[in-house]
């Protein structure tokens, strides 16, 4: 009888030992891979919530790899004695990740919802330091333009494009300059100038972005070169006491157009800065990552230039007083600032 009892006791001990070994294997398996599972889950949760703009480029690049790792973990879990809770968790995560990685294409409506719903603003915030640099360069370019024409008015003709019959030249009377802002006599000349500004800023914006690969230096020079005419124009109207009127005339479309130019310059500088200081990444990898981020910004820049063109063609022609011009320009500036630097930030923190 004692022999039988001993046999049962040894069998129970062996079963207990086997269960303990299985538990240890399950715990070790989970601990070795759980960080990757949690990372994938966080990415999937944000994509499901439509907050793709809050996901870093590194996480987006790692998404397919993490999905394959979870599928591999699931296969191991099914072939071993892992606990049922871990198995159920992996099955659910693998299914959700599949829809994210291989699910149906987003489509234009979904892309637009994601882009305007936070993707664009998040991309702009991601290049915040470069925007600050570009803003400083734009101010510097304006000051340089002012100082050049203040020292020698002949510089004005080199900086500001002139058309035959254009009254916006050094020595013009106050009445002529005032009439150019509010009257109809010189509206055609100003329309030509406005068209030039739109076309020029569109080309400059694209060049600032495209030439960022040269460590951002061409982008810096382009930003300074293309804000110098603004300084020259401000100097001309300031000399006749019409600076506020000129700012109102420009602000209708300028707050949008100059903001777009600033974002384009910042995009080029961001690419150049990423290449100059890649950190632990290869230079080409750093440039590619920055390029993907700034491509989203530049998509929005094109839309901003279109909006600026509409404001320039219609709103400024209909509004013929300084106060409402300043109100509209200021409202557009506030709109862009709120959209880019406040909209969607709460979602990124979650």
| 267 touches 287 (CB < 8 A) | no
pLDDT at 288: 84
Report CA 163 to chain centroid distance, whole Å.
Answer: 37
Give one DSSP letter per residue of 47-106, joined into a string.
Answer: HHTT-GGGS-HHHHHHHHHHHHHHHHHHHHHHHTT--HHHHHHHHHHHHHHHHHHHS---
pLDDT at 19: 47
| 122 touches 116 (CB < 8 A) | no
pLDDT at 278: 86
pLDDT at 151: 94
pLDDT at 147: 96
- Give the integer Cα–Cα distance in Å for 62 and 43: 10
Q: Could you give the C-alpha distances from 135 to 92, 194, 218, 224, 264, in angstroms and in order?
A: 47, 22, 16, 10, 11
- Give the integer Cα–Cα distance in Å for 201 and 209: 12
Taking only Cα atoms into account, the Rg of the chain, rounded to an integer number of angstroms, comes to 30
Average confidence (pLDDT) per 10 residues, the chain, 350 residues: 52 50 61 84 81 76 84 78 74 83 66 85 92 96 96 91 77 89 59 61 81 86 92 94 93 92 94 88 84 90 89 80 93 95 66
DSSP category for residue 321: S
* 192-231 pLDDT, tens digit each: 555 656 666 778 888 888 888 888 888 999 999 989 999 9
pTM above 0.75? no
Q: Is 202 helix (H, G, I), strand (E, B) or coil?
A: helix
pLDDT at 279: 82
The token pair at 201 is 């800023």
pLDDT at 209: 84
The token pair at 54 is 């809050």
Domains and CATH numbers, the chain: 2-104 (1.20.58), 118-349 (no CATH)
* 242-294 pLDDT, tens digit each: 999 999 999 998 999 999 999 999 999 999 999 888 888 888 888 888 888 89
């Amino acid at each position: 009888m004692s022999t039988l009892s001993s046999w049962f006791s040894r069998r129970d001990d062996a079963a207990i030992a086997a269960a303990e070994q299985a538990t240890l294997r399950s715990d070790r398996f989970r601990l070795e891979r759980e960080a990757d599972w949690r990372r994938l889950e966080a990415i999937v949760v944000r994509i499901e919530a439509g907050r793709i703009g809050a996901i870093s480029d590194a996480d987006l690049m790692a998404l397919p790899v993490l999905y394959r790792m979870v599928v591999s973990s699931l296969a191991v879990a099914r072939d071993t004695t892992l606990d049922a809770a871990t198995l159920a968790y992996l099955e659910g995560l693998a299914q959700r990740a599949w829809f994210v990685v291989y699910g149906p294409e987003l489509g234009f409506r979904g892309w637009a919802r994601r882009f305007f719903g936070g993707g664009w603003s998040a991309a702009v915030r991601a290049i915040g330091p470069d925007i600050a640099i570009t803003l400083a360069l734009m101010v510097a370019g304006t000051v340089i333009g002012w100082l050049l024409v203040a020292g020698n008015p002949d510089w004005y003709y080199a900086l500001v494009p002139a058309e035959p019959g254009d009254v916006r030249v050094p020595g013009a009377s106050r009445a002529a300059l005032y009439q150019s802002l509010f009257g109809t006599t010189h509206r055609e000349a100003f329309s030509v100038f406005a068209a030039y500004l739109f076309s020029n800023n569109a080309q400059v914006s694209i060049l600032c972005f495209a030439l960022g690969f040269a460590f951002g230096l061409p982008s810096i020079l382009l930003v300074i070169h293309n804000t110098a005419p603004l300084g020259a124009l401000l100097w001309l109207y300031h000399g006749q006491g019409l600076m506020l009127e000129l700012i109102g005339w420009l602000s209708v479309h300028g707050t949008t157009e100059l903001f777009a130019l600033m974002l384009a310059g910042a995009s080029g500088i961001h690419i150049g800065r990423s290449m100059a200081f890649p950190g632990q990444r290869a230079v080409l990898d750093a440039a590619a990552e920055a390029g993907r981020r700034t491509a989203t910004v530049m998509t929005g820049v094109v839309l901003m230039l279109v909006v600026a063109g509409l404001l320039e063609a219609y709103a400024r022609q209909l509004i013929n007083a300084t106060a409402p011009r300043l109100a509209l320009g200021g409202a557009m500036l506030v709109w862009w600032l709120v959209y880019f630097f406040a909209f969607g930030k709460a979602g990124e923190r979650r």
